[in-house]
């Protein structure tokens, strides 16, 4: 497998890069995606049940259902380790003057691999947060099946992830705006996402509109596949190491 020669040439001179990842980059770590081949939503009934369990209203009315759904996802993820795609992004970050990684994944594998400038737009299943006093605690999501009590104020804590129907945290939105809109990187690489959310597709469309280099790595096709300049049809573990090698 090779990169197109003209893309390799353009990557040689690159000094800044924005990356957006979704569940697909963790597929090669054994974590099922939500959509596409083998996705957990493929079983429509199970998918609907998961979405309802992982929604803000359910957390309000039946928090244990939400915590159990997260524990179930965490048990599926199990002892997943970063894969070649995660590791290639760490190498890419080390080679560039500026690198920012926006991930929708809550599995923590980018941080585990060593990526530094990461915006976890949907939070992390390894964190519980107290909306009463703001305290955050690290938890084992696979065994947390009810609201843990806040160590600081005693109030019941909530999962540290953005649930369906909830707004993105203000600080995350501000950081995304700063990194991808106010002062956008030279190029955008989107990996392993169906790009259904506007805040995910938006930066790619904007980059394309302004003539900045846009690359998608995905074995399937998405709404972005006809928008980006380069659609590399294959897995993250295959193409991201090639992109890392092409950088100087």
Angle, CA 67 vertex, CA 146 and CA 20 arms, to 5°: 145
Q: Which of residues 9-38 bind ligand APR (CB under 6 A)?
A: 22-25, 27-28, 33-36
Q: Quick check: is 170 catalytic?
A: no
Figure out which of the listed residues 56, 156, 169, 219 binds ligand APR, where binding follows CB under 6 A: 219
Min CB(164)–ligand APR separation in Å? 7
> Are 100 and 93 a contacting pair, CB within 8 Å?
no
Residue 200 CB, nearest approach to ligand APR (Å): 7
Task: Name the residue nearer to ligand APR (CB basis): 33 or 144.
Answer: 33
- Beta carbon nearer to ligand APR, 45 or 182: 45
The closest of 74, 82, 26 to 50, measured between CA atoms, is 74
CB count within 10 Å of CB 38 equals: 9
CB of 133 to ligand APR, least distance (A): 27
| 118 touches ligand APR by CB under 6 A | no
The helix/strand/coil state of 247 is: coil
**How many C-beta atoms surround the C-beta of residue 1 within 10 A?**
9
Q: Distance (Å, rounded) from C-alpha 53 to C-alpha 33?
A: 17
Q: Which two tokens stand for residue 40?
A: 């957990």
> For residues 51 and 149, which CB has a smaller minimum distance to ligand APR in the complex?
51
Q: How many residues bind ligand APR (CB under 6 A)?
A: 24
Shortest spacing between CB 8 and ligand APR, in angstroms: 20
- DSSP H helix total and E strand total for the chain: 10, 9
| Cα distance between residue 140 and residue 85, in whole Å | 25
Nearer to ligand APR, 24 or 159 (CB): 24
Residues contributing to the site for ligand APR (CB under 6 A): 22-25, 27-28, 33-36, 39, 104, 122, 191-194, 217-220, 222, 235-236
Catalytic residue numbers read 122
């Amino acid at each position: 497998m090779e990169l197109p020669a003209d893309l390799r040439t353009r990557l040689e001179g690159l000094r800044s890069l924005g990356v957006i990842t979704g569940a697909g980059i963790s597929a090669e770590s054994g974590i099922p995606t939500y959509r596409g081949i083998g996705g957990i939503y493929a079983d429509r009934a199970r998918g609907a049940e998961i979405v309802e369990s992982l929604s803000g209203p359910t957390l309000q009315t039946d928090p244990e259902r939400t915590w159990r759904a997260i524990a179930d996802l965490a048990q599926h993820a199990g002892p997943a380790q970063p894969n070649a795609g995660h590791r290639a992004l760490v190498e890419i970050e080390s080679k560039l003057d500026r690198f920012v990684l926006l991930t929708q994944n809550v599995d923590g594998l980018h941080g585990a691999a060593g990526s530094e400038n990461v915006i976890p737009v949907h939070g992390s299943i390894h964190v519980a947060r107290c909306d009463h006093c703001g305290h955050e605690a690290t938890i084992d999501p696979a065994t947390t099946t009810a609201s843990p009590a806040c160590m600081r104020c005693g109030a019941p804590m909530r999962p540290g992830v953005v649930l369906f129907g909830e707004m993105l945290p203000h600080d995350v939105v501000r950081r995304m705006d700063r990194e991808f809109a106010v002062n956008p990187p030279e190029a955008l690489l989107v990996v392993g996402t169906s790009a259904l959310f506007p805040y995910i597709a938006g930066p790619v469309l904007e980059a394309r509109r302004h003539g900045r280099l846009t690359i998608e790595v995905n074995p399937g096709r998405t709404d972005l596949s006809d928008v980006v300049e380069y659609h590399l049809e294959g897995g993250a573990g295959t193409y991201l190491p090639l992109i890392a090698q092409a950088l100087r």
